[in-house]
Structure 1
């Protein structure tokens, strides 16, 4: 069996014409001699009847509250509807197809409702269906606990479903179909010269995703990387080859920087502290217990600097004040990140970044780096100019 996993996002399923294109893509893959395994998201986006955010809005009459188990059961319905519909459309065209919930497909998770982790995939039912000539159509974004409770995998979880099934079934590759033609060097709404990348490494696309580029769920990439399964990000609506995500083959030309990602709506927190170790440890313990995620962490003697999401400022200040800490907070900031495995060990990259931003009179408030990223914190009013300047500096 030459298995190919095809995942279709909500925009690919939003209209009757779009669903026709989805069915044609599945049939074409079948006719080319592959065994397609299809993963679907909920239909459309907020406002569409069965979209996840629309289902969540049903909880408005509860004040937005529901126990985690019941909330997951509610929002898993959108993908189930998609699976049943696409399987029915394939059957209407004369192809054997069978819809599966995540649990029926053998996706076993922990019980962390709302953001469950996949523990294992028992793929026997899917393999039996494929051997019988069926096209399995699986509801993405969901699984089931060992006790039989429905769980969801967090936003973008259908990508994770597709990658996990690709790994379990030994797929030749996994296609992620969406409404864009591939992964771009930067946000095209900001940078006019942004273009589609033909290839990108697992590490680079993971960094792009974690640093704000809404291309593919990083968990999906990590699963595919473990089994070295190629991923392709493609458009449902055209025949562009899209972007291939894989390890770095010898035929990819060397490049210093691959792309620019950004995360807006951040705030910087600066805390002056004494040399008392207990006091310093208490700061991070307090934030952790409050469930407040921090980023861009710089620790100096007598000074702690980090960023948080802007909507967490009020709560962060309240929690710190409880332990006698009065932080200095700067809002309306954006983290701009240069991504590229080619930067590793190459001197002068930071110097070029600083010079490019200085030419635009953009102040850098904070930096951090890894083997394949350099991030700069800037004021949001300067973010678009910063992204464009860096895109031009590295000739992307």
Structure 2
């Protein structure tokens, strides 16, 4: 049995016409000989009656301090509604279809309400329906604990549901359908000439996702990478091939094309960042640096862009927790230098490993645009630069042009 998992996001399911288009893609896969499992998100975005954000507002209106358990119970309804409605469309078209909740599909999670992690998948019921030649629709974004409590998987959780099921079912491929053509070399709202990538490695897309690209959830990519399940990111609204995500090129292709290695695969960005700099040279406490980061961790504040020197500690936090971080530091008798309104721009590419001059080209591109680099860091596949928020879009365009990503 050749199994295909297809995941459709909320914008793909928002209207009757769009659900009809989704049904056509499912039927096409069935006619190509696949046993199809479909994972759905809640229909639409903020303002749509059954969208996740709308359900959050509904819960908050009842009680701004609604417990996380009851909130998860409420939020799980969005995907169930979406799945049942899509099942109705397919049944009307003459296709034997069954809709399952996340727990009926065997998605077992830990007990962290609102951001649960899948710990186990028991796909026997899904397999039974597939063997009966049914199309199986699964409500994404949700699961159940071993104690029987309903949980949700956090933002982008339907991607994670789809990939986890793909692994458990040993699917041939997992298709992630969105409202864009695939993975782009940059945000097309910033770089109009951004190109759709034909293929990309798991590591590259994981880095792009962590650094602000919102096409696929990084947790889903990590699960796919660990189990070597190919992903294909496609657009619901056209028939373009999209982007193949795999460890190597040529997977699922009839012909292997020899490509020149890309140094940089894509440019991405995250805004709304605050930089904190703490002078430590005058403090006699040899553990002051350790105490700073322990205090942030105890407060649940995630830090990024970390530079530790004998005389100073520099790191960034998201704008929404900056005031809390500053208050904690002042309570420690530390006086941070605060720079608000920053953004992180990242150049990602597996091809940069061991290649000299990549950082020089980045500095050249930003310097030529008069953009000041406030901080930088690098790994084997990513170079990050912190810039002022007002320089972010120019920085993305400059780096995209510098590495010829439109060619």
- Settle same-fold status: TM greater than 0.5: yes
CA distance in 2, matches of 1:344, 1:278: 35
CA distance in 2, matches of 1:235, 1:278: 52
Deviation at 1:279, TM superposition (A): 2.2
* RMSD of aligned Cα (Å): 1.0
Alignment correspondent of 2:273: 266
Deviation at 1:63, TM superposition (A): 5.0
Alignment correspondent of 1:67: 67
Give me the TM-score of the superposition, normalised by structure 1. Answer: 0.98
Give me the TM-score of the superposition, normalised by structure 2. Answer: 0.96
Deviation at 1:252, TM superposition (A): 4.0
CA distance in 2, matches of 1:252, 1:226: 25
Comparing 250-259 and 368-377, the one that deviates more: 250-259
Alignment correspondent of 1:304: 313
Residues 252, 80 of structure 1: alpha-carbon distance in 2 compared, 3 angstrom cutoff: farther
CA distance in 2, matches of 1:157, 1:38: 14
CA distance in 1, matches of 2:214, 2:275: 23
Alignment correspondent of 1:285: 294
CA distance in 2, matches of 1:194, 1:386: 14
1:317 aligns with 2:326: yes
1:336 aligns with 2:326: no
CA distance in 1, matches of 2:208, 2:328: 31
Deviation at 1:275, TM superposition (A): 5.2
CA distance in 1, matches of 2:62, 2:293: 33
CA contact (8 A) 1:202 1:246 kept: yes
CA distance in 1, matches of 2:110, 2:26: 31
Alignment correspondent of 1:83: 83
1:245 aligns with 2:245: yes
- CA offset digits 1:235-280 (Å, max 9, x no partner): 1110000111111237443111100010001010001123523322
Alignment correspondent of 1:326: 335
Where does the alignment leave 5 or more consecutive residues of structure 2 unmatched? 251-257
CA contact (8 A) 1:196 1:243 kept: yes
CA distance in 2, matches of 1:146, 1:253: 49
Question: 3-state SS of the aligned residue for 1:297?
Answer: strand
CA distance in 2, matches of 1:54, 1:133: 35
Question: 3-state SS of the aligned residue for 1:76?
Answer: helix
Alignment correspondent of 1:204: 204
CA contact (8 A) 1:275 1:302 kept: no
- CA offset digits 1:110-169 (Å, max 9, x no partner): 001111010100000000010011111000001100011110111000000000000000
Deviation at 1:320, TM superposition (A): 1.5
Question: 3-state SS of the aligned residue for 1:277?
Answer: coil
Q: How many residues align?
A: 396
CA contact (8 A) 1:275 1:301 kept: no
CA contact (8 A) 1:202 1:222 kept: yes
CA distance in 2, matches of 1:233, 1:369: 27
Comparing 73-82 and 246-255, the one that deviates more: 246-255
For 1:199-238, what aligned pairs fall within 5 Å after superposition? 199-238=199-238
- CA offset digits 1:317-346 (Å, max 9, x no partner): 111122212211101111000000000010
CA contact (8 A) 1:45 1:51 kept: yes
CA contact (8 A) 1:82 1:139 kept: yes
CA distance in 2, matches of 1:357, 1:51: 40
CA contact (8 A) 2:199 2:249 kept: no
2:386 maps to which of 377, 384, 393: 377
Question: 3-state SS of the aligned residue for 2:354?
Answer: coil
CA distance in 2, matches of 1:302, 1:62: 50
Where does the alignment leave 5 or more consecutive residues of structure 1 unmatched? none
Deviation at 1:185, TM superposition (A): 0.4
CA distance in 1, matches of 2:354, 2:107: 41
